[in-house]
């Protein structure tokens, strides 16, 4: 029986030291789809835990700043701006969350924007789970600019 050679692992964090520092911007969106009854409770009563939208906004901002601690091989970045906007949509019984992240850096901020929007959505879920667990979360990148790969815009 032949002995297997152990694979040498050379992969790791990407070396961005040779990249130019440019303005990096990313915009991500997350949605929390609630049942109609759950959505009405959110609008009328909120959560026994407190202000759902403000708590979700702060959670998203904090998450963007900690993305490198959550996502393996993500670079720690000196983020200059994180902003979240949260909109309840009564026609769809959902909460829409937009997260924008900006920095001057050598690598993009897409993961920070996606993390911010996703954690804000998870916070809405956590604060409203007392009404039931039938909520659904989705997230996507809407825009990114800066860097060698150029600009990306999501077109529905």
CA distance 14 to 12: 6
Instruction: Output the DSSP codes for 65-114.
Output: HTHHHHSTTPPP--EEEEEEEEEEETTTTEEEEEEEEEEEESS--HHHHH
Per-residue pLDDT tens for 6-23?
566 567 888 888 889 999
Instruction: Please say if the pLDDT value at position 120 is more than 80.
Output: yes
The residue among 111, 149, 110, 152 whose CA lies nearest residue 20 is 149
Per-residue pLDDT tens for 43-66?
999 999 999 999 999 999 999 999
Instruction: Please say if the pLDDT value at position 147 is more than 90.
Output: no
Q: Which residues pair with 97 in a beta bridge?
A: 30, 86
Provide φ and ψ at 87, rounded to 5°.
-125, 120
CA distance 27 to 151: 12
Per-residue pLDDT tens for 90-118?
999 999 999 999 999 999 999 999 999 99
Instruction: Please say if the pLDDT value at position 148 is more than 80.
Output: yes
- Cα 12 to chain centroid, rounded: 23
Question: Domain ranges in the chain?
Answer: 28-146
- Answer yes or no: are the C-beta atoms of 61 and 123 closer than 8 Å: no
Instruction: Please say if the pLDDT value at position 149 is more than 90.
Output: no
At 6 the pLDDT is 58
140: its two tokens: 């996507």
The answer as to CATH 3.30.70.640 being correct for domain 28-146 is yes
Q: Residue 36: which residues within 8 A CB-CB, separation 6 or more? A: 93
Q: Report the catalytic residues.
A: 126
At 4 the pLDDT is 61
- pLDDT averaged over the chain? 93
């Amino acid at each position: 029986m032949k002995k297997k050679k152990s694979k040498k692992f050379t992969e790791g964090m990407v070396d961005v030291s040779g990249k130019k520092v440019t303005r990096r911007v990313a915009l991500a969106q997350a949605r929390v789809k609630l049942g109609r009854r759950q959505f009405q409770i959110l609008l009328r009563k909120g959560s026994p835990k407190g202000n759902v939208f403000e708590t979700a906004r702060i959670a998203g901002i904090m998450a963007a700043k900690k993305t490198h601690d959550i996502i393996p091989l993500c670079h720690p970045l000196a983020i200059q701006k994180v902003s979240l906007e949260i909109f309840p949509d009564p026609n769809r019984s959902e909460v829409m969350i937009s997260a924008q992240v900006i920095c001057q850096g050598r690598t993009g901020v897409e993961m920070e924007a996606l993390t911010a929007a996703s954690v804000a959505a998870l916070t809405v879920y956590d604060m409203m789970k007392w009404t039931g667990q039938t909520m659904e979360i989705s997230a996507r990148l809407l825009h990114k600019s800066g860097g060698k790969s150029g600009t990306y815009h999501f077109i529905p």
